[in-house]
Amino acid sequence: MKKTNSANNSSQEDVIALSRREFIKMAGGSLAVLSIPMGSAFAFGSTSGSASGLTSLLSKQMNKPKIVWVLLRGALDSLHTIVPTADPQYKTLRPKLSSSFKAPLLPLEKGFALHPSLKNLHAWYQEKSLLPIVAVSSGYKKRSHFDGQDFLESGKGEIDHDTGWLARAVDVKNKRALAVSRSTPISLRSSDNVNTWYPSNLKDSDDDIYVALDKLYQNDELLRDSLEGGLEVRGLVGDNKRKRNKRKGKFIDLSKACAKLMVGEQGVDCAMLELGGWDTHNNQGLRLDGKLRELDQGLAELKSGLGKEWQNTVVIIGTEFGRTAKENGTGGTDHGTGSALFLAGGAINGGKVKGSWPGLKNEQLFQKRDLMPTTNSFSWIGNVLSQHWQLTPQELMQVFPHMKAYNEVLLRS
């Protein structure tokens, strides 16, 4: 762990303490887990021993290239998200799913279309701030959710639970990272420059107790006032806080908070968000309609919260693997291989569909059942890191030791 200089004078310590207080102030009153590696470089680094030193530090944090890594846990069905409308086999393989959309598909180039729930992402595509990438894979060869996610987060060509690709990139370029999570996910393990944040939540059992007590005391004004007074001290009620507390942990709220923590004086360079619920073995049409809308609205809040920083931001959205090309008998799909990757943000040179489409004929499928992957997720991510954070080929080897980055222009000049 990096150490601050013990010889720093008291005025410098005051500046650092102020910076920490401002960080907590930016996060708001819902901080349940705020894990700062004290004394590390993440604790706002070293500054000159004056307010002008803090001003200089904050000035340097402005306009820094930012990355947000969004992991969709559960294996998103890319064929229901970036729909290959021009492939004649699509409707043959998916007669029910292909007709399950509740609104017209949103057109892209090359015979593809976005799911109608992704209205904001489609607007970004039209603004040239979104790059959908088809038929990608991390290289993971099996179909286990947990191992697939661990493989994708580690980024080493093998599962290593102690280190992640984003953590290694953070250390290579001396960045500061935020995990919007109760604990540090694999993607951000092994770096001292990582902070974790998650909103406070009532446990279900506690919530039930409070509701029961509220009902029990509803006819006793004194006891009810005492109950609510006690809960207010704990930050659980007051101004309808209990109702809001039940919403905490939703993706839209996490995205909004993430943005606040990236643009404030804390100077976070990158963040990781997670969204589960993509394992759609049944009733996929209805389920993905809601999940994709949740993703779309959450990302819109992220953009709104980032404000001007959106122009310096790349959002990488990925999942552990794809799903079967053919729908199953319960209106869903099963674990597959090839999937999709999205690159979004004001820094992205978008408005195109990337990747090589393999086709959906039986002989074109992986093991005659899955979308065949034609490019590697890590090579695309490495491409972003080389352009956005200026990682050299040698530095990229430290992040992805088994892969080389692609050499495509993905960012605006």
Please write the tens of the pLDDT for every residue from 165-188: 999 999 999 999 999 999 999 999
pLDDT for 249 equals: 75
In 3-state terms the chain splits into helix, strand, coil percentages (rounded to 5) of 40, 15, 45
Cα separation, 236 vs 215, whole angstroms: 16
pLDDT for 413 equals: 86
Question: What pairing do the DSSP bridges indicate for beta strands 270-275 and 66-72?
Answer: parallel
pLDDT for 19 equals: 45
pLDDT single digits (tens) 89-98: 999 999 999 9
Q: Which of 355, 380, 405 is nearest to 82 (CA)?
A: 355
pLDDT for 10 equals: 41
pLDDT band at 111 (very low <50, low <70, confident <90, very high): very high
Q: 158-162, 178-182, 265-269: which range is least confident on average? A: 265-269
Q: For 341-353, what is the mean pLDDT?
A: 98
Q: 60-69, 168-177, 369-378: which range is least confident on average? A: 60-69
Cα separation, 165 vs 401, whole angstroms: 10
pLDDT for 200 equals: 76
Q: Is the pLDDT of residue 213 over 70?
A: no
Terminal Cα-to-Cα distance of the chain (whole angstroms): 36
pLDDT for 16 equals: 39
CATH code for residues 66-201+250-399: 3.40.720.10
pLDDT band at 14 (very low <50, low <70, confident <90, very high): very low
Q: For 122-138, what is the mean pLDDT?
A: 98
Q: For 146-164, what is the mean pLDDT?
A: 97
pLDDT for 57 equals: 41
pLDDT band at 341 (very low <50, low <70, confident <90, very high): very high
| Distances, alpha carbon 199 to alpha carbons 99, 102, 180, 225, 307, in Å | 39, 34, 9, 26, 22
Q: Is the pLDDT of residue 227 over 80?
A: no
pLDDT above 70: percentage of residues in the chain: 72
| Distances, alpha carbon 308 to alpha carbons 62, 202, 210, in Å | 10, 34, 42
Where exactly are the structural domains of the chain? 66-201+250-399, 205-247
pLDDT band at 220 (very low <50, low <70, confident <90, very high): low
Question: What pairing do the DSSP bridges indicate for beta strands 313-319 and 339-344?
Answer: antiparallel
Q: Is the pLDDT of residue 9 over 50?
A: no
Contact predicate 188/194, CB 8 Å: yes
